[in-house]
Amino acid sequence: MIFNEVYGSYYNVVAEVLAEAVNGTLSKERLSEITTRKAFGESIVTIPDALIKQKWPLIDENFETPLNHKPTMPLTTIQKMWLKAILQDPRIQLFEPSMEGLEDVEPLYDQDTFIYFDRYADGDPYEDIKYGEHFRLILSAIREHRIIRVEYQGHNTRKERTIIPHRLEYSAKDDKFRLIGIAHTGTRYIINLRGVKKCELMEKFAPDRFNEAQTDANEVVIELKDKRNALERAMLSFSDLEKETIKIDDENYRLKLKYRVDDETEIVIRILAFGPMMKVVEPASFVNLIKERLNKQKGCGL
């Protein structure tokens, strides 16, 4: 099925090598440069060796090839079916992509095949015309390295900022896009796309001028008790973060998580969800955040 060598790294690297050979520009150095840039760690030796020694008779000792054209590969059926399926997704329609050439293709799946059962219910309005316009304008600003002026709804008031856009960040859990960018002052901004009221393209910025303000990262150390399958649940649940796990004994583990400071409340909640299977041990400030919640809970009389 999809585990097929036609999609493999080796075929891609060799295709690029042969394209150079067809052009008449292939040399030993170019061969080495292409494999180093594109291939897996150990292919740097394997691929040039197989080509030069004609284990794969595709180029001769003068780096010439009998191929008449630069290699290209048509789309496979599964690739077309996947494209047809994603084109039905309202988030993909935000890009206004062309469906040309896929008219007679069946989608790999229908949109209702997937149920995102724990996704939050207040996702972005992808079918809203204004939302779509803002999405495309911000995307083109990122693509073309243009500064933007954004008017958006903050927590309490409407705000206006001039921003160097960096990325559109999507959260599958929140089902939301956020604009990540920085102001001229270096202040980092995260703006919910849904809250954008107005957006305007401005002058270009030099790509190397963009220097995203470093996001402060914190660490929390947790003791984990592997009961009720807590180990597997925790390992999966926190696998989106940089983490380190040390086995203490068959039932106890020590887990170190790195998280962004802006996400601290969310991390507190995620740890609380594990109940007595997780105990925060460091830093004291994080331990206090858990204690505060438990103290408050005691006040509720339970």
**Which residue lies nearer to other proteins by CB, 160 or 191?**
191
Closest separation in Å from C-beta 186 to other proteins: 19
Closest separation in Å from C-beta 103 to other proteins: 12
Closest separation in Å from C-beta 208 to other proteins: 15
- Using DSSP, state whether 130 is helix, strand or coil: helix
Rounded Cα distance between 61 and 124, Å, is 58
Beta bridge pairs of residue 149: 162, 200
Closest separation in Å from C-beta 52 to other proteins: 12
- Using DSSP, state whether 245 is helix, strand or coil: strand
Closest separation in Å from C-beta 216 to other proteins: 13
Taking residue 122's Cβ as centre, other Cβ atoms within 10 Å add up to 10
Taking residue 58's Cβ as centre, other Cβ atoms within 10 Å add up to 16
**Which residue lies nearer to other proteins by CB, 32 or 140?**
140
Structure tokens at 121: 């219910």
Contact (Cβ atoms closer than 8 angstroms) between residue 254 and residue 199: no
Contacts of 45 (CB under 8 A, 6+ apart): none
**Which residue lies nearer to other proteins by CB, 160 or 292?**
292
Q: Are strands 217-225 and 252-260 parallel, antiparallel or unpaired?
A: antiparallel
Rounded Cα distance between 257 and 49, Å, is 43
**Which residue lies nearer to other proteins by CB, 134 or 178?**
178
Closest separation in Å from C-beta 63 to other proteins: 13
**Which residue lies nearer to other proteins by CB, 185 or 276?**
276
**Which residue lies nearer to other proteins by CB, 82 or 151?**
82
